[in-house]
Structure 1
Amino acid sequence: MGSLMSGVRPAARHEISRADIDLLARGCAGADVARLLRRAERSRRLLMLRAVLDEAERHPAAAAGPVPPPGDAWDLLERVEQESPFDLEAVLAYPFVGNWAGHTLRRLRGSVDDPSPLWMQVGHVHGIAAAAAIRAGLGIQVLIPVRDDTVALPTLGVAHLPNRVNASSAREQEAPVAELCSASGRTEIRRGGTIVRLPSELTGEAPGWSGLRRLTAVSGKHTLSLLLDDVDPYRGLYGPRRPAPTKDAELHAWQRELEEAWNLVCHHLPQQAGAMSTVLTALVPVPAPGPFQVASASSGDAFGGVVMSRPENPAMLAATLVHETQHIVLGGLLHLVGLHDNDPEARLYAPWRDDPRPVGGLFQGVYAFFGVTRFWRAVYRAQDEATQRAAAFEFARWRAATWRALDAMTDVPALTAIGKRVLKQIREEMEPWLAEPVAEDAAAAAEKVAGDHRVAWLLHHVRPDERTVTEMTDAWLYAISHPQSEAAPGHRDLPADALIPDTNASWVRTRADLICCGAVPSRTLDSPFCADVEAGASSADQAFAADDHVEAWHGYRAEIASSASPATSWVGFALAWASLGTEPGSELLLRRPALVREVYHRLSALGHRPEPDALAGWIAARWPHALPAQD
């Protein structure tokens, strides 16, 4: 087993210079640095594969199935290396081979659960080795696990093999395995009475065979080529998934939009196009979570793979590809150098997430949205009428969000010296952007959407001290029963609110969607979605989106007075009131909304319904130190 491991012997150490780290930090790294990361990932992948096989030897359940020992697959991979190293690399470097290795290793070590038999999961290595051998044209005969009536061959596709054996075929009924035979360029897979013959062109279709399709976009000297993987069981982030074939019409839509998106990247960020085309290799399509929302993710185990929904337009697709490339690159860098301690505590606000984030999560977000901000800035500066208004809104939105997150990480002790250096480079790159003018309406819309998210996040995740709520409730009740008494200001030592993450937190986004509909031309109220949003929006939301803050203020106050009093009404009231002018009560409601709402609810339960602005103003006056320092 020596030759396959030659790339990860001590003599083949992978190092990255400080100069290259600085280039990565500033978003200026090219294809050379991206290739350096890929080489390091190749070694890591081999180490993970070897670790899976070694761990499997210590688990009897891993060898309890009807497939050969995992070591046989390693031997086959060595044969492929001798005959066709290129085909070996294509399979080993495939992102979702990495996902399989990571998930299986964690399962073998007891840190994840999976309902499938352990032998079946470990046995996927035979499909990996078979895929490499088929690509290399080797003659092979091997048993491979069948999962969900399919046999997966990474980088190639899946064979569909429903179990159609008769009652006398007990072995096939009990053992979900298939026999793969490949010789003289012909491959067939047999399970009981079902036979699938792979087409000579493996990317094509054949009875029982779903081959992977490729998306290709060319712009100038740069080519982006992605395998669209909708069938590999390990293409997701959290364990095996069933195949979900993409219809031809959707595939063509992806191809059209990718071509336009790639043109935008190459035109506006030419210095990054080389790195992106080197890094990105596979795309997994998933449904969009909702209009104006893009689902996108990547994994540290799956270097080069992106899971995403198709955005609403090519510019958003370009921005999303930039975003995920940043994640992948940072993940590769983290495999070479430490940027922060692995502190899992979720305690930091991320303007792009509904949940509190640990240091590592916020670091990833800062780097990703730094890239997104850079992209929209370049598009906005190009002064293209077709994209300028949308680019102004997106640039203003993510510039402010990224800078806010950078500020939150300034004094985080979990950062290493290199991590601090990376963030310092990002800050130095971004700081001049803060002074760049943006269209006033776009900046205002971006600020509204940001405020909506921030106040909603505080309302869901930050809880006031119980004793403080009781003290304020009692003080209000005393004040209304003794109107002539003069109350001294409250104590200076009010306990701080506590961050208690709500794992089920999600909130209605109607107000933010309305603002987006007005801010971006492609999201006009004439579109079906925007029309539906407007139809479902409250009159207060409509007024706020239209900048009628007085009407919105009255509308949200009426909503709060109703028995339901939803969280979104408190958020809207806080935003509308702050838009009418700054005063202590409005500032308190913006920055400690849960405190005001909890006192209000406590009073309501006792039969009192003060006006929310009167209550917030009274608390701010009675407890002047309840107002936190500006964050």
Structure 2
Amino acid sequence: MNVVPLPAPALARLARTSPDPAGLTFLGSALHTRRLLLLKALLVRVHRHRAAVEPGALGRFERSWELVERVDRHRPAVVREVLDYPTTGAWLAGALAEPLGPGFDRLLARLDSIAATAALRGGGPLDVTVETPDGLLSLPGVGRLPVAAPRVRISAGERIVRFHPDGARHAAPAVLTFSGVRHGLLTGHGPGWRQVHPLPGGAACLDDLDPYRAGAGGGSVGTAADHADTDHAAWSARWRAAQDLLRRTDPGRAAEIARAVRVVVPLVPRGPRHRGATLSAAPGAVLTSLPAGAHGMAETLVHELHHSKLATLHELVPLYGHGRDTVHRVGWRPDPRPIAGVLHGAYAHLALADLWRRAATADEVPKSWRSRAGQQFDDIHDQVGDALEILLESDELTAEGREFAAQMRQHHASLGATPLAAG
């Protein structure tokens, strides 16, 4: 699959943080192409080092690969959704970086669950056995079931999916049903089953189940909250309120969030400060502790989505080089940042400045947020301007990166030094 080169006007709209359906479509195609390339790279690595891969793991990987290809011939849209699910990218990044050995073999087993999920969502009869590391069957974007066995057989008819843990005399009492065969929707029922929680008003979900939701090894982005510790009603209410606030502030940006954010991953709070993050390998996922109020959720979604957009764009059109040790001071962080960090921070904060500018002058939003947004705009505007000067004076950006930064500066100037007085 080939991606059409990004037209200059589309690059300019992305640089200006403008909600742009055509730009999102382009980035989605780029993401899918990269996902396929990374999958192929994993296949090549497995075949090149097949003598170092445990024979059972190798056989299961090849059977799962064949299953994905078979489903793709009949239901390519379903396969694309499963492959483009953010945690699939996090798993792929981990598998490609993992040294050969037992850890690598263990990561290969994830393709079992990915292939089974695609086949189940594609409909039709199915009878496959998948590995269940740690005694958990995890179906990306669907849910999780404890099985207390190293593998489980999955059998599916036209309407019902049953699970048969290895060594058990009977099927597990939990089942999946096809709640929307046309769109490959699955709903679980029964003891032990935990469903990925849908967020209201769109296709996004709250995923506190997937083992790769915070990356292949967890770590720097924070600790992902578990299902048992997540207040799903509170998250749904915060999401709904943020969407309503965004629609009243900037309908285009609200539509962009609804389309581009596929997954919200709850993080365990670390101290009193809110935490938000993205994974460059998992665009479309927003990792965050529960923000304070609707405005906090709205700001987090806008901020983190722009990190995702920039990460996807950079993979397609490199905006900066690598390998330099130069670091720079920016106003929003105490630690010096490499040029990639300056660009990412300036881009995400430029999007927030745009949002705060609109909020400060919108009669439809609560007066408390109008006032707060005006202050936040004042605080960040000059900081973004200083960061843009760093970017435009740097020799670490590519030609496309310099054009991108120049378009960012034009949008930054168009916002003005201070917002109009709120009504």
TM-score, normalised on structure 2?
0.88
Match of 1:349 among 310, 329, 341: 329
Q: Deviations over 1:445-464 (max 9, x none)?
A: xxxxxxxxxxxxxxxxxxxx
For 2:128, what is the secondary structure of its paired residue? strand
Structure 1 residues 16 and 29: alpha-carbon distance in aligned structure 2, compared to 1, 3 A threshold: farther
* 1:232 lines up with 2:210 in the alignment: yes
Match of 2:166 among 191, 197, 205: 191
Q: Which residue of 2 aligns with 1:316?
A: 296
Q: Distance in 1 between matches of 2:237 and 2:390?
A: 39
Match of 2:22 among 22, 28, 32: 32
* 1:18 lines up with 2:8 in the alignment: yes
Q: Deviations over 1:148-181 (max 9, x none)?
A: 2212111211121224xxxxxxxxxxxx333333
Q: Which residue of 1 aligns with 2:193?
A: 209
Which structure 2 residues correspond to residues 229-628 of structure 1 after superposition, within 5 A? Answer: 229-239=207-217, 244-247=225-228, 250-291=231-272, 293-345=273-325, 347-383=327-363, 384-436=366-418
Given that 1:25 and 1:425 are in contact with CA atoms closer than 8 Å, whether structure 2 keeps it comes out as yes
* 1:178 lines up with 2:152 in the alignment: yes
Residue type of the alignment partner of 1:153: L
Q: Deviations over 1:552-573 (max 9, x none)?
A: xxxxxxxxxxxxxxxxxxxxxx
Q: Distance in 2 between matches of 1:146 and 1:249?
A: 24
Structure 1 residues 149 and 350: alpha-carbon distance in aligned structure 2, compared to 1, 3 A threshold: farther
Q: Distance in 2 between matches of 1:15 and 1:82?
A: 27
Q: Deviations over 1:168-206 (max 9, x none)?
A: xxxxxxxx3333333333231413338533232544442
Query: Which stretch of structure 1 is more off in the superposition, 418-427 or 270-279?
Result: 270-279
Identity of aligned residues (%): 28
Q: Distance in 1 between matches of 2:54 and 2:142?
A: 26
Structure 1 residues 290 and 22: alpha-carbon distance in aligned structure 2, compared to 1, 3 A threshold: same
Given that 1:339 and 1:416 are in contact with CA atoms closer than 8 Å, whether structure 2 keeps it comes out as yes
Q: Which residue of 2 aligns with 1:139?
A: 125
Q: Deviations over 1:127-151 (max 9, x none)?
A: 1000011111233333322222212
Query: Which stretch of structure 1 is more off in the superposition, 148-157 or 14-23?
Result: 148-157
Q: Distance in 1 between matches of 2:330 and 2:252?
A: 28
Q: Distance in 2 between matches of 1:212 and 1:237?
A: 17
Residue type of the alignment partner of 2:207: D
Q: Deviations over 1:584-627 (max 9, x none)?
A: xxxxxxxxxxxxxxxxxxxxxxxxxxxxxxxxxxxxxxxxxxxx
For 1:192, what is the secondary structure of its paired residue? coil
For 1:325, what is the secondary structure of its paired residue? helix
* 1:87 lines up with 2:68 in the alignment: no
Q: Deviations over 1:102-145 (max 9, x none)?
A: 1111215x7xxxx9632121121111000011111233333322
Q: Distance in 2 between matches of 1:248 and 1:289?
A: 15
Q: Which residue of 2 aligns with 1:547?
A: none
Q: CA deviation at 1:434?
A: 4.5
Q: Distance in 1 between matches of 2:419 and 2:139?
A: 52
Q: Distance in 1 between matches of 2:372 and 2:419?
A: 15
Given that 1:161 and 1:195 are in contact with CA atoms closer than 8 Å, whether structure 2 keeps it comes out as no
Structure 2 gaps of 5+ residues are: 180-185
Q: Distance in 2 between matches of 1:427 and 1:203?
A: 47
Given that 1:61 and 1:119 are in contact with CA atoms closer than 8 Å, whether structure 2 keeps it comes out as no
Higher RCO structure (Cα 8 Å, ≥6 apart): 2
Q: Distance in 2 between matches of 1:428 and 1:243?
A: 38
For 1:117, what is the secondary structure of its paired residue? helix
Q: CA deviation at 1:243?
A: 8.2
Q: Deviations over 1:231-289 (max 9, x none)?
A: 11111135269985435971111111111111222222223333332211111111222
Q: Distance in 2 between matches of 1:179 and 1:240?
A: 28
Structure 1 residues 147 and 240: alpha-carbon distance in aligned structure 2, compared to 1, 3 A threshold: farther
Structure 1 residues 354 and 107: alpha-carbon distance in aligned structure 2, compared to 1, 3 A threshold: farther
Q: Which residue of 2 aligns with 1:446?
A: none
For 1:349, what is the secondary structure of its paired residue? coil
Given that 2:197 and 2:205 are in contact with CA atoms closer than 8 Å, whether structure 1 keeps it comes out as yes
Which structure 2 residues correspond to residues 2-81 of structure 1 after superposition, within 5 A? Answer: 8=1, 12-59=2-49, 60-65=51-56, 68-81=59-72
Residue type of the alignment partner of 1:335: E
Structure 1 gaps of 5+ residues are: 1-7, 164-175, 218-223, 440-631
Question: Runs (4+) of structure 1 moved beyond 4 Å?
Answer: 240-244
